[in-house]
Amino acid sequence: MSSPPALELQGLTKTYGDKLTALSDVNLTIHPGEIFALLGPNGAGKTTMIGSVCGLVKKTRGKIFVFGHDLDVDPVRPRYEVGLVPQEINFDPFFSVAESLYIQQGYYGHKRDEARVMEVLTALNLQNKADSLTRALSGGMKRRLLIAKALVHKPRLVFLDEPTAGVDVELRRDLWNYVRKLAAEGTTIVLTTHYLEEAEELADRVGVINEGRLLMVEEKKALMRRWGEKRLLVTFTAPVTELPEPLRKAGATLSADGRTFSYPEREGCAPGGDMLRALYSQGFPVGDVETRHSRLEDILIDILRGRPAAPSAP
Ligand SMILES: Nc1ncnc2c1ncn2[C@@H]1O[C@H](COP(=O)(O)OP(=O)(O)OP(=O)(O)O)[C@@H](O)[C@H]1O
Ligand SMILES: [Mg+2]
């Protein structure tokens, strides 16, 4: 028998009062072992969705299954498999780093396990801070402790709600590597982030949410292929007045000042190299050559504005 999804949402809806719909009929299946990035602007409903699964938000309607267990039937046990790195820093400032992790182990019904606590602290480079009071940590260290707290009970499904907000570049890279390692070991990761580079680096699939509605869910690679483009840009050393018709027909354009040649490389069309050869062989004054890929950031903006995807190649 195939294993159940790590998470399944059916018609998940959350309303606040009678006006605000924070989540509207969200259907989503997260596969075991995948890294799923949930993207969307401020107030889109990301934290509400995570909170509904983790028991911090009371859903209005819909069903939530964690590893096949209906949370309406058993709201407690299935959540032992879940870890949450919350968006807001929320620990008690009067405990030491290690104590706060022992408490977390107890909270999830595990015995005090010093080896596990040290393992997690070491993985997050906090081993030297085990006895420090949590209030004496820097902002980035507090974030790392939040991650340690979410992981110390070895959850199989982990929510990272903006885990790298306010974290320095080096630590962000370390955390990415750690997340990849967890996923390789079979942990399922659901990540929200406003750093789209993070989703670009880590995610297997991407979901886009806006105003409580899940607009799309797609493999990241397919999304980037379908919505994004690779563009060849050539700077001429002298202005050019016109491009030959075959180049124009292939989609190449010239900037108003005649100095920049631009060609979108779409699947099934002539590769940029052919265009470049044509420019050289026809004596165009080729100076600088560059290729640009659209980033997830550009693509997300297009999706949120409701712009259609770039037409596929004929
Ligand atoms: N406790 C609450 N009471 C009333 N409205 C709430 C409450 N919590 C969240 N909301 C509203 O629900 C909507 C979704 O908020 P949510 O925190 O899920 O957004 P988000 O996608 O996580 O945004 P961000 O990127 O800013 O973290 C927002 O309009 C927010 O104001
Ligand atoms: Mg949020």
Q: Could you give phi then psi for residue 302, rounded to 5 degrees? A: -60, -45
Question: Phi-psi category of 53—alpha, beta or left, where left has phi over 0 and alpha has psi -120 to 50?
Answer: alpha
Residue nearest atom 24 of ligand 1, based on CA coordinates: 42
3-class secondary-structure state, position 13: strand
Amino acid at 199: A
HEC secondary structure over 43-97: CCCHHHHHHHHHCCCCCCEEEEEECCEECCCCCCHHHHHEEEECCCCCCCCCCEH
Nearest atom of ligand 1 to the alpha carbon of 44: 21
**CB of 42 shorter than 6 A to ligand 1:** yes
**What per-residue string of b and e applies to 180-190 under the rule 16 or more CB within 10 Å gives b?**
eebbeeebbbb
Q: Are 304 and 297 in contact (CB under 8 A)?
A: no
Residue nearest atom 11 of ligand 1, based on CA coordinates: 22
Residue 292 CB partners (closer than 8 Å, separation 6+):
230, 231, 233
State how far Cα 280 lies from the chain centre.
Answer: 41
Q: Which CATH number fits domain 7-225: 3.40.50.300, 3.20.20.80, 3.40.50.720, 3.30.390.10?
A: 3.40.50.300
Give this prediction's pTM: 0.85
**CB of 44 shorter than 6 A to ligand 1:** yes
Output the pLDDT for position 302. Answer: 83
Q: Which CATH number fits domain 229-293: 1.20.210.10, 3.30.70.1560, 3.90.1150.10, 3.40.50.720?
A: 3.30.70.1560
Domain ranges of the chain: 7-225, 229-293
Q: Are 13 and 62 in contact (CB under 8 A)?
A: yes
Question: Ligand 1 centroid vs 69 CA: distance in angstroms?
Answer: 26
Q: How far is CA 28 from CA 123, 190, 208, in A?
A: 31, 12, 11
Question: Phi-psi category of 134—alpha, beta or left, where left has phi over 0 and alpha has psi -120 to 50?
Answer: alpha
**CB of 56 shorter than 6 A to ligand 1:** no
Q: What is the pLDDT along the chain (314 residues), one digit of tens a residue?
A: 578 999 999 999 999 988 899 999 999 999 999 999 999 999 999 999 999 999 999 999 999 999 999 999 999 999 999 999 988 887 777 899 999 999 999 988 899 999 999 999 998 889 999 999 998 998 888 989 999 999 999 999 999 999 888 788 888 888 899 899 999 999 999 999 988 889 989 999 999 999 999 999 999 988 887 777 788 999 999 999 999 999 999 889 999 999 999 998 877 778 888 999 999 999 999 999 998 887 888 888 888 888 666 544 43
Question: Phi-psi category of 17—alpha, beta or left, where left has phi over 0 and alpha has psi -120 to 50?
Answer: left
Q: Are 143 and 163 in contact (CB under 8 A)?
A: yes
CB atoms within 10 A of CB 108: 16
What does the angle CA 203 – CA 47 – CA 194 come to, to the nearest 5 degrees?
50
